[in-house]
Structure 1
Amino acid sequence: MDKLITISEAAKRLGISPTTLRRWEESGKLIPERTQGNQRRYRLSQIEPATHLRQQDRKTLAYARVSSHDQKDDLERQKQVLELYCAQQGWTFELISDIGSGMNYYKKGLKRLLNEILIGNVGRLVITHKDRLLRFGAELVFSICEAKQVEVVMVNKGEDTTFEDDLATDVLEIITVFSARLYGSRSRKNKKLLDGVKQAVEDSRT
């Protein structure tokens, strides 16, 4: 029997949002039946053939990130690498960027990226290196991408050449926040602690 299912059930089976299904209806891609109460109903026989529509409708997102404003040049370099790579593949894409620690899960761009993935709008994620996504926890995001059938493309699969510098910056930012909370941002103790940490970071880079 060709079962009728709701728009929510159809969206779940296809791995997309109900909003996408409504957009498909408006464009004539996938037309549902209507109940007497004017509710949308989809036949299971419609869902499997509609899989190819999902892939066509989902977008490619490219994501770039650096830890601090001092690294804006590196951010621009990442953007250029992503733009060139996507252009070479012939992909139409949207670029999202963040300036913030790789240990911070609450960056505006990252939150937008995850939301787009979770609601099923993304078919491909392009990054220069996994550490550009998150310093720790990138594998969790990749697992979400796998569950949502999002292809993850890493342009640079080797070691990130700025790993040590970026990690040092992340650690310095964390210590800055906690020392400011402990001593006050303008206190002598706070300044002395931060000067010592900065010197240790500089020494580790030489």
Structure 2
Amino acid sequence: MSNLIGVKEAAELLGVSTKTIRRWEESGKIRSTRTEGGHRRFDVSQLLGNKSDASLTVVYARVSSIDQKKDLERQAMVLEAYCAKQGWSFELIKDLGSGMNYKKKGLIRLIKLICTYQVERLVLSHKDRLLRFGSELIFMLCEIYGTEVVIINRSEDSTFEEDLAQDVLEIITVFSARLYGSRSYKNKALVKELREVADKIF
């Protein structure tokens, strides 16, 4: 996979303007290569000062709804305690939103950090804290960009049936929220009833 980016991406990565990037290049502060069409390309690891060996540990916590805010704080405390025990300094990223939502701010920030070689390890309490569907894609990115994935409760992974029940409930919750509104009585009643049914089946 190419490690080269254009002027705009380099500016976003370093938090400066494109004019600054061009000025730094002209002064020799950073180096670039040119494509056949004459476009500048910058090496990410050089821009980051060889931060491909970065020691940043990111802990990521997520819950699906505002009703689970207390659980989010407990999740964050478990992750923080684990990292402290290991002697790792870390950055905590918290998200509040469905595991089917790929546009959460925290998740987007996490992906950007991984894809710019800034994350040495990613720590999760459970695998599904990233996404209900698609977490394997994030793990593949971690492998490509040299990020270790640590899942604290790997030994407590749920069964296939439990995962299936949770996935079905997640899908129904998302679509019923869109139909009735996430805070409506009808939506909450429907989700509660479906949870009870799922518990009996699985």
TM-score, length of structure 2 as denominator length:
0.66
Matches within 5 A, 1:60-75: 60-75=57-72
Matches within 5 A, 1:48-67: 54=51, 57-67=54-64
1:176 is matched with 176
Of the three residues 142, 145, 168, the one matched with 1:145 is 142
- For residues 103-142 of structure 1, the C-alpha deviation after alignment (integer angstroms, 9 at most, x for no partner) is 1111111111111111222121111111011111111000
Of the three residues 183, 193, 198, the one matched with 1:199 is 193
Deviating above 6 A after TM superposition, structure 1's stretches of 4 or more consecutive aligned residues are none
Decide which moves more: 143-152 or 163-172.
163-172
Q: Does 1:103 align with 2:100?
A: yes
Of the three residues 110, 114, 123, the one matched with 1:117 is 114
Name stretches of at least 5 consecutive residues in structure 2 with no aligned partner.
15-23, 33-42
2:27 is matched with 38
Residue type of the partner of 2:173?
Answer: E
Larger radius of gyration: 1
Tell me the secondary structure at the aligned position of residue 85 of structure 2: helix
TM-score, length of structure 1 as denominator length:
0.65
Instruction: Check the 8 A contact 1:67/1:169 in 2, yes or no.
Output: no
Name stretches of at least 5 consecutive residues in structure 1 with no aligned partner.
1-8, 23-33
The count of aligned residue pairs is: 171
For 1:80 and 1:131, the matched residues in 2 are separated by 18
Instruction: Check the 8 A contact 1:58/1:120 in 2, yes or no.
Output: no
Tell me the secondary structure at the aligned position of residue 78 of structure 1: helix
Root mean square deviation of aligned Cα:
3.9
For 1:160 and 1:109, the matched residues in 2 are separated by 24
Percentage of matched positions with identical amino acids: 44
Instruction: Check the 8 A contact 1:172/1:197 in 2, yes or no.
Output: yes
